[in-house]
A and B are shown apart, each in its own frame.
Chain A
Amino acid sequence: AQSVTQPDIHITVSEGASLELRCNYSYGATPYLFWYVQSPGQGLQLLLKYFSGDTLVQGIKGFEAEFKRSQSSFNLRKPSVHWSDAAEYFCAVTMYSGGGADGLTFGKGTHLIIQP
């Protein structure tokens, strides 16, 4: 069965510092990969996605992510965080298998705290 692991439940970063959120997936082949952000009391907003091609993808709000097939990872990065980046971040994967459950499989999320 497919699975997504976000090893860090909470991460605290100082404003202006760089950020990396980790995501590892378990699949038999290359899945479609996503990062979503959820602000308190809100729905989920797509930050970026990877389907194929260039393994470094750019998203909104200055975020980027790198797909590494050898490590089954899709880590999210930002060079300099802002206080408004404080939120819950979810990595998600999907793969059209022709059978089984479709839709996204989510990691359990990483709660990002920004220190002034």
Chain B
Amino acid sequence: NAGVTQTPKFQVLKTGQSMTLQCAQDMNHNSMYWYRQDPGMGLRLIYYSASEGTTDKGEVPNGYNVSRLNKREFSLRLESAAPSQTSVYFCASSELRDTEAFFGQGTRLTVV
């Protein structure tokens, strides 16, 4: 069972570069999420997609964009990376908006 798959696992970017983090789930879940994890901060919601065709901002959306490509896939894009975006990014999915979420293994991003 693959669950939630994120790519890449590690990435180093230079300030100003762009990149897209990919996420796919094979559980037929309706809702998908992007979180970032910083030391001592827990996880904070960046964007979420309650269902296919919808996306909404979370707690820390500035500097990011998302695309819900289809029911399975939810990507996160950094248009112009900044050192403040150095973090570990987690994608998650859930069947409904307020039920348990299943997490991917994370993408460790460093912006230099």
For residue A28, CB closer than 8 A to chain B, the reply is no
Besides the known contacts A32-B98, A46-B102, 7 further A-B residue pairs in the complex with CB atoms under 8 A apart: A43-B4, A44-B103, A46-B101, A102-B98, A107-B42, A108-B40, A109-B40
For residue B97, CB closer than 8 A to chain A, the reply is yes
Structural contact, B48 and A103, CB atoms closer than 8 A? yes
Contact with B along A98-116 (1 / 0, CB 8 A): 0001111111110000000
Q: How far is the CA of A1 from the CA of B71 in the complex (A)?
A: 30
Q: A43-B104, A103-B58 are in contact. Are A95 and B98 (CB under 8 A)?
A: yes
For residue B90, CB closer than 8 A to chain A, the reply is yes
By a beta-carbon cutoff of 8 Å, the part of chain B in contact with chain A is: 4, 31, 33, 35, 40-45, 48, 50, 56-59, 90, 92, 97-106
Structural contact, B99 and A104, CB atoms closer than 8 A? no
A61-116 residues with Cβ-Cβ distance < 8 A to B are 90, 92, 94-96, 101-109
Q: A103-B45, A104-B45 are in contact. Are A49 and B100 (CB under 8 A)?
A: yes
Q: A44-B90, A44-B103 are in contact. Are A102 and B50 (CB under 8 A)?
A: yes
